[in-house]
Structure 1
Amino acid sequence: MSSIPISQEGLKRLKDELERLKSERPGVIQAIKEAREEGDLKENAGYDAARERQGMLEARINYIESRLPQFNVIDLKTLGGETVIFGATVEIEDVESGESKTYTLLGPDESEPNKGSISVLSPVGRALLGKEVGDEVVVEVPRGRVEYEILSVKFNGSACL
């Protein structure tokens, strides 16, 4: 079993989601029961929808529960330094286009690229780990190879930007 890094905030969000999902179970079971009572299950859209919802709900619950023992919870407030590690907020610049981006490196279960956090296991995250300001990294992305220069490395003590 390998260890999966996660911030304290990320773990709390996942545990809250798990609790919410478990609280939805009775409602889904009730919806299935009511749809069954309508008769013919072959052409019962309400039954099909409720069963599909139950399947998705149970799959997500099982996924979260299976990951919990693997998490290595990291307190972001204790991190610092000049090297890119889990929890670092890194400003990078595309060497070719000059476009800069800022990302916080987090675990795969809490990263949200649209909100400025990426997984340490993503191609960009893996390339940045262990690097410092001024280093350049080359990343293979769908559009080809992109070269980034690290402009800054900060530690905010939080999973939020």
Structure 2
Amino acid sequence: MPEKSYPMTAEGKEKLEAELKNLKLVKRPKVIKRIKIARSYGDLSENSEYDSAKDEQSHVEDRIDVVEQMLKYAHVVDADSVDPNEVSVGKKVTYTEVGEDDPETYTIVGSDESDPLNGKISNDSPIAQALLGKKKGQTVEITPPGGKFKVKINKVED
């Protein structure tokens, strides 16, 4: 069974690489040091410092595994290789809901880069799924949880 591909922007991949480096070279050594110090306190059965450090170690190691997996199967999307009017990962799309006047603008990014409050939505989101592959001028039906609505794509930018 093939592994999942992780579409992302070049910027997103660079951020993941930096995060992995930080996890391995900064966070992991700090946690190991905390564990050593906590062990020196003696009885581990009632040592909350040790338990806390082991929990943190587990979180750090889990995140390292996830980031390594994502980088291993990363698919950096080159938005420049796609039709300039076509919505794809890495592009900014502006649309207006049919019957409304206020346009909305989002950049479609890989799931780990998602930051809706800053205008970056995951390629796995219902909105992005409906828009991907569509072109400027098209009207698209979006079906998020809670109902359907139609939008007209006004602009697609790199």
Question: What is the TM-score when the length of structure 1 is the normalising length?
Answer: 0.85
How far residue 98 of structure 1 moved from its aligned partner, in angstroms, is 3.5
Q: Following TM superposition, where does structure 1 have runs of at least 4 consecutive aligned residues deviating by more than 6 angstroms?
A: none
Structure 2 residue 127 is matched with structure 1 residue 129: no
2:52 equivalent in structure 1: 49
Q: Distance in 1 between matches of 2:99 and 2:59?
A: 43
1:77-128 superposed Cα distances (whole Å, 9 cap, x missing partner): 5555111122221011222444421111121222221211112221111100
Structure 2 residue 13 is matched with structure 1 residue 11: yes
1:63 equivalent in structure 2: 66
How far residue 25 of structure 1 moved from its aligned partner, in angstroms, is 1.1
C-alpha contact 2:142 2:148 (8 A) present in aligned 1: yes
Structure 2 residue 31 is matched with structure 1 residue 22: no
How far residue 41 of structure 1 moved from its aligned partner, in angstroms, is 2.3
Q: What is the CA RMSD across the aligned residues, in angstroms?
A: 1.9
How far residue 44 of structure 1 moved from its aligned partner, in angstroms, is 2.0
Q: Distance in 2 between matches of 1:26 and 1:2?
A: 30
Percent identity, please.
Answer: 39
Q: Distance in 2 between matches of 1:132 and 1:77?
A: 15
Gaps of 5+ in 1: 156-161
Structure 2 residue 85 is matched with structure 1 residue 88: no
Question: What is the TM-score when the length of structure 2 is the normalising length?
Answer: 0.87
Distance 1:143-1:10 versus aligned 2 partners, 3 A rule: same
Distance 1:134-1:78 versus aligned 2 partners, 3 A rule: closer
Q: Distance in 2 between matches of 1:129 and 1:137?
A: 10
Distance 1:113-1:62 versus aligned 2 partners, 3 A rule: same
* Structure number with higher helix proportion: 2
1:158 equivalent in structure 2: none
C-alpha contact 2:8 2:90 (8 A) present in aligned 1: no
How far residue 70 of structure 1 moved from its aligned partner, in angstroms, is 0.9
1:58-93 superposed Cα distances (whole Å, 9 cap, x missing partner): 000010111222111234455551111222210112
Q: How many residues align?
A: 155
Structure 2 residue 140 is matched with structure 1 residue 149: no
